[in-house]
């Protein structure tokens, strides 16, 4: 009676019970679940005809389209391993990932064909190049191949410990690492997501989050498990997002805090009439309490903060709402919601530890590193035993995040360990300083890094993006921060910039700011 824990089980159930419900909307393309899964079957059959077998890798470079969504079913149901690649990477990084993963088939969206063609001679292991849209010379056409397929394929036996995907992390100081996610990892993350953030049958989910990023936080399968509708959006444009929320009656979306800031900062003309009641899952960085307060207070949306990493499939905590939170003033409730929270029921054990591996006191003050072990933790890094040993060799996955644990057991990340600013022997959380700056009405985004200082070792320096038409001086912002923070935590200087460097998933690239800030003299 043993049945492998796999997100393919979600597909089987939804196809059996809800074949006529709308599965996916992608511009003019619409399909119900029977039509959607038939397309997946057709592509599975094509892949087998191309020689793809169990364990082989199939790579995709594409934005959030229906064809990209189909890959999350068509590839794994024949036992192959999906490699979804960040389409915003450089050609060199894409070539590295394709070759490192050993992908035999490469499927690419029209917008990325030029990028791939520029490094095609480096892709020695790729046997077939498929254009998902816009096929041209030396590219096979996805839709043509699909139309010629019967949809009959040989389904191999799949174990829950088999690899489902290899997701490459964004490389900063080194090459990207391939995170090996199993069918069991993804299944349990989806189950935990549905327990803590239940999507109802027939609700509609807007794809503001890249599907390539940690498998769209496994919402590629979670939405299907709920027999809800995937509404694709290929590029996050606030005007388009607000329009789709209205016209497609969107109930849910996921987004990094940078996307939420863009939505919250949109002008009334861009927003139009905002549909209330949208539930938002946010992760990827710590959201500022001010952003949460604005979206809930002005838009009437409900923000759920979760935390995890690609290596944890990805969710390991959720800021689980408690009845007593409801009676808190709006600003205090937003502060609580900005914490990372507690373990998901399905994620495993989480604790904050000191340098010796002992758990730190639950006092909301003592910094330690978040570590986790459980069923959502990756199998390891693909073809990188040394990095695997370093990350999980002692039986715990080390996140690299510095956090405190509050008396109620809720964890709060104060920084990446490497981003903690140590000034005069005192630890300063750059996230805390950024959150204080974001409460200023002129500030749209902020990033704080430590710059060398002759006396204090290092001091905080802020990089700030202001709202369009807003004006504030450096001295005014420093004084504003001092009113909210202990004085030594306030930035000693402020640089006003047009935009902050980020990864494709919205994470701040502070190492870039450190490199470019060498000319900034600390005060």
In this predicted model, what pLDDT tens digit does every residue of 368-414 receive, in sequence order? 999 999 999 999 999 999 999 999 999 999 999 999 999 999 999 98
Task: Report yes or no: 88 and 43 within 8 Å, Cβ to Cβ.
Answer: no
Does residue 516 have a pLDDT over 70? no
Q: What is the CATH number of domain 236-416?
A: 3.40.50.12780
Q: What pLDDT, in 10s, does the model give residues 115-174?
A: 999 999 999 999 999 999 999 999 999 999 999 999 999 999 999 999 999 999 875 456
Instruction: Give the C-alpha distances (Å, rounded to integers) separating 114 from 94, 110, 120, 211, 235.
Output: 12, 8, 10, 21, 19
> Hey, how many other C-beta atoms are within 10 angstroms of the C-beta on 32?
16
Q: In which band, very low, low, confident or very high, does the pLDDT at 517 lie, cut at 50, 70 and 90?
A: low
Give the per-residue pLDDT at 471: 87
Helix, strand or coil, per DSSP, at residue 288: coil
Give the per-residue pLDDT at 522: 46
Give the per-residue pLDDT at 359: 97
Give the per-residue pLDDT at 519: 47
Rounded Cα distance between 408 and 389, Å, is 33
DSSP state of 455: T
Task: Report yes or no: 231 and 244 within 8 Å, Cβ to Cβ.
Answer: yes
Task: Tell me if domain 236-416 and domain 421-516 are identical in fold.
Answer: no
Average pLDDT, the chain: 93
Task: Report yes or no: 256 and 283 within 8 Å, Cβ to Cβ.
Answer: yes
Give the per-residue pLDDT at 164: 98
Task: Report yes or no: 400 and 413 within 8 Å, Cβ to Cβ.
Answer: no
Rounded Cα distance between 231 and 500, Å, is 29
pTM (predicted TM-score): 0.88
What mean pLDDT is predicted for residues 227-255? 97
Q: What is the CATH number of domain 30-182?
A: 3.40.50.12780
Domain limits, the chain: 30-182, 236-416, 421-516
Q: In which band, very low, low, confident or very high, does the pLDDT at 523 lie, cut at 50, 70 and 90?
A: very low
Q: How many residues does the chain have?
A: 523
What mean pLDDT is predicted for residues 431-439? 88
Q: Which range, of 42-51, 189-198, 281-290, 304-313, averages the lowest pLDDT?
A: 281-290
Does residue 425 have a pLDDT over 80? no
Q: In which band, very low, low, confident or very high, does the pLDDT at 244 lie, cut at 50, 70 and 90?
A: very high
Q: In which band, very low, low, confident or very high, does the pLDDT at 429 lie, cut at 50, 70 and 90?
A: confident
Q: In which band, very low, low, confident or very high, does the pLDDT at 331 lie, cut at 50, 70 and 90?
A: confident
Task: Report yes or no: 429 and 420 within 8 Å, Cβ to Cβ.
Answer: yes
Q: In which band, very low, low, confident or very high, does the pLDDT at 1 lie, cut at 50, 70 and 90?
A: confident
Task: Report yes or no: 345 and 315 within 8 Å, Cβ to Cβ.
Answer: no
Q: What is the CATH number of domain 421-516?
A: 3.30.300.30
Give the per-residue pLDDT at 357: 94
Max CA-CA distance within the chain? Answer: 73
Q: What pLDDT, in 10s, does the model give residues 92-110?
A: 999 999 999 999 999 999 9
Task: Report yes or no: 444 and 265 within 8 Å, Cβ to Cβ.
Answer: yes
> Hey, how many other C-beta atoms are within 10 angstroms of the C-beta on 277?
10
What mean pLDDT is predicted for residues 286-306? 89
């Amino acid at each position: 009676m043993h049945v492998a824990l796999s997100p393919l089980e979600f597909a089987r159930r939804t196809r059996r019970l809800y074949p006529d419900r709308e599965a996916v909307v992608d511009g003019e393309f619409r399909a119900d679940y029977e039509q959607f899964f038939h397309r997946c079957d057709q592509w599975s059959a094509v892949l087998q005809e191309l020689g793809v077998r169990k364990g082989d890798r199939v790579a995709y470079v594409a934005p959030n389209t229906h064809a990209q969504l189909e890959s999350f079913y068509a590839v794994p149901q024949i036992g192959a391993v999906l490699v979804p690649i960040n389409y915003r990477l450089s050609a060199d990084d894409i070539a590295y990932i394709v070759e490192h993963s050993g992908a035999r088939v490469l499927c690419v969206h029209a917008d990325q064909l030029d990028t791939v063609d520029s490094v095609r001679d480096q892709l020695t292991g790729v046997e077939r190049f498929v254009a998902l849209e816009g096929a041209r010379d030396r590219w096979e056409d996805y839709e043509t191949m699909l139309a010629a397929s019967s949809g009959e394929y040989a389904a191999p036996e799949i174990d829950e410990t088999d690899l489902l995907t290899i997701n490459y992390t964004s490389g900063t100081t080194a090459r990207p690492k391939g995170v090996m996610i199993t069918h069991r990892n993804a299944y349990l993350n989806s189950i935990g997501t549905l327990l803590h953030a239940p999507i109802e049958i027939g609700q509609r989910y807007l794809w503001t989050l890249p599907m390539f990023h940690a498998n769209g936080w496994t919402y590629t399968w979670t939405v299907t498990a709920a027999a809800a509708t995937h509404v694709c959006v290929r590029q996050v444009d606030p005007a388009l997002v607000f329009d789709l929320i209205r016209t497609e009656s969107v109930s849910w979306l996921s987004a990094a805090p940078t996307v939420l800031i863009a939505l919250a900062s949109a002008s009334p003309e861009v927003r139009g009439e905002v549909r209330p009641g949208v539930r938002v899952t946010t992760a990827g960085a710590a959201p500022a309490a001010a952003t949460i307060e604005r979206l809930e207070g002005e838009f009437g949306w409900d923000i759920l903060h979760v935390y995890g990493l690609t290596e944890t499939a990805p969710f390991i905590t959720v800021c689980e709402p408690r009845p007593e939170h409801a009676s808190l003033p709006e600003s205090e409730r937003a502060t609580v919601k900005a914490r990372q929270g507690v373990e998901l029921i399905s994620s495993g054990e989480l604790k904050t530890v000191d340098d010796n591996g002992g758990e730190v006191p639950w006092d909301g003050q003592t910094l330690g590193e978040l570590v986790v072990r459980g069923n959502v933790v990756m199998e390891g890094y693909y073809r990188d035993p040394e990095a695997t040993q370093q990350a999980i060799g002692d039986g715990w996955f080390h996140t690299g995040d510095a956090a405190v644990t509050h008396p109620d057991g809720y964890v709060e990340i104060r920084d990446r360990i490497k981003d903690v600013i140590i000034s005069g022997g005192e630890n300063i959380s750059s996230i805390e300083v950024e959150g204080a700056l974001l409460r200023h009405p002129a500030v749209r985004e902020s990033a704080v890094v430590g710059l060398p200082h002759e006396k204090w070792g290092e001091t905080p320096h802020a990089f700030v993006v202001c709202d369009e038409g807003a004006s504030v001086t450096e001295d005014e912002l420093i004084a504003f921060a001092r009113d909210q923070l202990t004085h030594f935590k306030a930035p000693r200087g402020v640089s006003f910039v047009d935009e902050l460097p980020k990864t494709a998933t919205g994470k701040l690239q502070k190492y870039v700011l450190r490199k470019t800030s060498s000319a900034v003299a600390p005060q």
